[in-house]
């Protein structure tokens, strides 16, 4: 199962992450005391530190029931609860209404398309008012948008695994996952915006690639791969197209695209062949 925790300072999570104790209702009585934890992807219920149930936000509906209680409807259950105060109950409904929105627009404005890939398109995403302070500058991200209707249903778990893996990674040479959001129709993966383009394009534009340049790039990549393996992660699709340059000039790089990544198991230690074979021809590099 996917990990529950996302970075809580992301443009979505900062508005919806919430936890607290509630009383659930059965028939006419509030019978059970639970601790709820919510982020932009999941709602999870605990009792005595044991997980009772987990529901994906994209598969549930939230509404106000009789007496001002919050009613959550999922494919498997209907849960009615109230918090310790009326204001806290309203706060729960407010954030639940946000995470069950039909799209990402309450959080991020999608602008220019930056590119397309096997799983969808990537757009520039802008948060004009971050809420951090009145004078805070706008935040700019890269947002991968995956249309479920245009994606093989068997590949959806792979996309969720990509989120699960990247949310645990924090390294200077790995593209950072900032946030994630899912609706019934789409999956949104919010990442840091890396402006320098793909390494393969940089190498082609340079015409000549010095040994010192190769050493600098390889040092960054090997340090990042060592970090990944230390986290129990194998990228499984490391190639020039999946390495991005941080800036428009220079060779500071970051590893991207964890769609084929997996756990570091005995079978994954160099014997897997999960990567895609296609790559752009760079034989003319000198």
Q: Please write the tens of the pLDDT for every residue from 149-161.
A: 999 988 898 888 8
> Which pTM value belongs to this model?
0.83
Nearest to 104, CA basis, from 89, 125, 86:
125
DSSP labels, 76-108: S-EEEEE-SSHHHHHHHHHHHHHHT-SSSTTT-
Backbone φ, ψ for residue 165 (5° rounding): -70, -50
Tell how many helices (H) and how many strands (E) occur in the chain.
5, 16
Over residues 78-96, mean pLDDT: 94
**Residue of 237, 257, 267, 281 with catalytic role:** 237
Rounded alpha-carbon distances, angstroms, from residue 259 to 67, 70, 75, 225 = 45, 36, 28, 16
DSSP labels, 160-182: HHHHHHHTT---TTBPPEEEEEE
Classified as helix, coil or strand, 15 is helix
> Quick check: 1 pLDDT over 60?
no
Contact 235, 258 (CB under 8 A): yes
Domains of the chain: 13-99 (2.30.29.30), 109-192 (3.30.200.20), 199-268 (1.10.510.10)
Determine whether 237 is an active site residue. yes
Strand-pairing partners, residue 189, are 144, 180
Structure confidence at residue 55 (pLDDT): 94
User: Looking at 226-230, 242-246, 271-275, which range is the least confident one?
Assistant: 271-275
Return the residue matching tokens 């706008």.
138
The contacts of residue 239 (CB under 8 Å, 6+ apart) are 275, 279
pLDDT digits (tens, 9 = 90+) for 236-254: 999 999 999 998 888 999 9
The contacts of residue 181 (CB under 8 Å, 6+ apart) are 12, 40, 41, 99, 104, 107, 187, 188, 190
Contact 32, 48 (CB under 8 A): no
Q: Which of the pair, 230 or 133, is modelled with greater confidence? A: 230
Contact 188, 145 (CB under 8 A): yes
Rounded alpha-carbon distances, angstroms, from residue 38 to 19, 67, 75, 124, 152 = 6, 23, 18, 26, 28
Confidence of residue 4 (pLDDT cuts 50, 70, 90): very low
Classified as helix, coil or strand, 66 is helix
Confidence of residue 136 (pLDDT cuts 50, 70, 90): low
Structure confidence at residue 249 (pLDDT): 82
Structure-block tokens of residue 46? 């605990």
Structure-block tokens of residue 88? 């806290």
Spell out the alpha helix ranges (H) of 17-169.
86-99, 156-166
Which amino acids are annotated as binding site, given as ranges? 144
Which amino acids are annotated as binding site for ATP, given as ranges? 144
Distance (Å, whole) CA 159 – CA 156: 5
- Percent of the chain past pLDDT 70, that is, above it, reads 85
Nearest to 176, CA basis, from 254, 66, 262:
254
Q: How many Cβ atoms from other residues are within 10 Å of residue 107's Cβ?
A: 22
Structure confidence at residue 18 (pLDDT): 94
């Amino acid at each position: 199962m996917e990990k529950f925790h996302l970075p809580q300072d992301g443009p979505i999570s900062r508005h919806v992450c919430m936890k607290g104790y509630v009383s659930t209702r059965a028939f006419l009585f509030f019978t059970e005391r639970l601790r709820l934890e919510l982020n932009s992807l999941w709602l999870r219920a605990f009792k005595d530190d044991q997980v009772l149930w987990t529901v994906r936000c994209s598969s549930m509906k939230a509404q106000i029931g009789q007496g001002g209680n919050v009613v959550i409807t999922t494919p498997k259950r209907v849960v009615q609860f109230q918090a310790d105060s009326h204001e806290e109950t309203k706060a729960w409904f407010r954030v639940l209404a946000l995470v069950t929105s039909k799209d990402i627009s309450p959080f991020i404005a999608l602008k220019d398309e930056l590119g397309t890939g096997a799983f969808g398109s990537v757009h520039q995403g802008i948060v004009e008012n971050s809420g951090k302070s009145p004078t805070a500058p706008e935040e700019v991200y890269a947002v991968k948008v995956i249309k479920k209707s245009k994606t093989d249903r068997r590949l959806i778990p792979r996309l969720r695994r990509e989120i699960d893996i990247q949310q645990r990674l924090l390294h200077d040479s790995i593209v950072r996952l900032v946030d994630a959001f899912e609706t019934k129709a789409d999956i949104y993966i919010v990442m840091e915006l890396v402006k320098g383009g793909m390494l393969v394009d940089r190498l082609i534009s340079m015409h000549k690639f010095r040994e010192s340049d190769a050493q600098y790039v390889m040092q960054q990549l090997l340090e990042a791969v060592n970090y990944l393996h230390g986290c129990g992660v194998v990228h499984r699709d490391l190639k020039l197209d999946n390495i991005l340059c941080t800036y428009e000039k220079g060779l500071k790089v970051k590893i991207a695209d964890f769609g084929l990544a997996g756990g570091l198991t005995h079978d994954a230690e160099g014997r897997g062949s999960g990567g895609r074979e296609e790559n752009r021809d760079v034989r003319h590099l000198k």
